[in-house]
Amino acid sequence: MPRLAIARFSHEGNSFSPVPTGLPEFRREWYRGQEAEAVYRGTTTEGGGAVAFLDANPDWRGTFLRMAGATPAGPVTRDAFEAIVGEIVDDLRDGGWDAVFLSLHGAMLVDGMDVADTEIVRRVREAIGPDLPFGVSLDLHANLDPCIADLVTFAAGFKEHPHTDMKETAERVLHVLDRAVKGEIRPVGHIAKLDAILPSINMRTAEGPMAELEAFARGLEFDPRILDASPFGGFSYGDTVVAGAGALVFVDGDRDLARSAAERVVEEFRRRLDRFYITLPSAEEGIARALRSEQRPVAVIDSGDNPLSGGIADTPEMLRALLAAEPEVPVVVAFFADPGMVERCHASGVGGAIDGCLGGRICRDFGAPVPFAGTVLRLTDGDYVNAGPMMHGLPMSLGRTAVIGVGQVSIIVTTACGSAHDPAFLALHGIDTADVAVLCVKAKNHFRAAFTALCPVMIDIDAPGPAALEISRFPFRLAPPTLYPLRNKMD
């Protein structure tokens, strides 16, 4: 019976976030062994895909090694990186494996390290030897290092944004590994890069330029020699030497075909380059439009502070614009991460008076704090299970939370910086979108996976934050200055 090692070390690093990612932040997703199998079973995650593969292929015996994931934020500390990679590599060195599956993101940043995901892949390859079948799944927002294609047997990326195909991506990788172990195929791959950093706000795959690119890549796969063709939009806020979009293609035995197909995908990116760059209304404009709308509820989406892009749930401009507008209809703000304010709310109790400031707690780079005076409406333990299509079934924890009422505005405040992309986040706080006129949320595209059916109007806004729209305004240091739109700054 062949043995499969399964591991995960996933993090999307935002170079412009003031919040580092240490080992405690990986406790959000921190499993191994039978506990990992139980947690991931039935979920729409890469771990869920591994469980499904093992269920469908009883001839394989799978072992879950360390499975670690953290909410996107600033670079991973070197100590955390070495601890997690060290555990995975030590387990792999025990030997006896017939294949290895590794779930990565592809845009990890680590203090003092050039390309972290490449270092992970290199260490795994050194641990298992040059020939053992080794498959990797990657996020659509990976900043790909071309040398990864020569270090793995096979790799593939998510094809959907929002990422509702995590499970299917893992199953695709494992299916190809199975065929490689059986000697049916000899995968070879190539990574081609686009000379541009793209804004992630316009990478949804339901429509627009990214949808067209995914369709083009699917068309390539009608060639039976092509095992997978994955366009990668790249992560806009990862300042590395391999920043920017690209494409990864794996084929059966024909390296020239892999290279030519990957370059064709990149050329399709280039043909659509201008269409990725869009403009958005300000916070004030977006709030005003939402309050005028006759359709309810309206979602106002502050993508500049999206936690799933490395936002810090602490930027103040959307709240400032909202309170200045003095809404006369029910509005929900999701959310601010402020442990001290949560503790004050719990000490005050439901119905207690609470005042202070929100936003600008971590730093003032994105605006000054917003003062408020209100009432504690609800207190929770912060635990829930994702109910929407993205990461469905995965347990989440925000630490203790509170809801503060300020006139018609209800503001969710959490201990940890999680993500408000799932309806269970709102349900935890007693909020039904049917009772809300305007939902102001720190989110981006993943929010749409579950909320498109719930919010008939969605207004993306551009406000200051670690994931704001204008890429060229960020102080890139490592990314090649020839990348568009950075090269405009050289003119």
pLDDT tens, position by position, 115-171: 999 999 999 999 999 999 999 999 999 999 999 999 999 999 999 999 999 999 999
- Whole-number Cα distances in Å, 379 to 15, 149, 187, 226: 33, 49, 53, 53
- Give the pLDDT confidence score for residue 414 in this predicted structure: 98
- Give the pLDDT confidence score for residue 487 in this predicted structure: 81
Residue 39 has pLDDT above 90, yes or no: yes
Mean pLDDT of the region 286-306: 97
Mean pLDDT of the region 349-373: 97
- For residue 229, what are its two tokens? 């063709």
CA distance 17 to 337: 14
Model confidence over 457-476: pLDDT tens digits?
999 999 999 999 999 999 99
Distance of CA 196 to the CA centre of its chain: 20
Q: Domains in the chain, please, with CATH?
A: 3-276 (3.40.50.2300), 283-461 (no CATH)
- Give the pLDDT confidence score for residue 94 in this predicted structure: 83
Half-sphere exposure for 338 (CA within 13 Å, toward CB): 26
Beta carbons within 8 Å of 101's beta carbon, 6+ residues apart: 4, 5, 6, 7, 50, 135, 136, 137, 170, 173, 174, 177
pTM of the model: 0.96
- Give the pLDDT confidence score for residue 202 in this predicted structure: 94
- pLDDT category at 412 given cuts 50, 70, 90 is very high
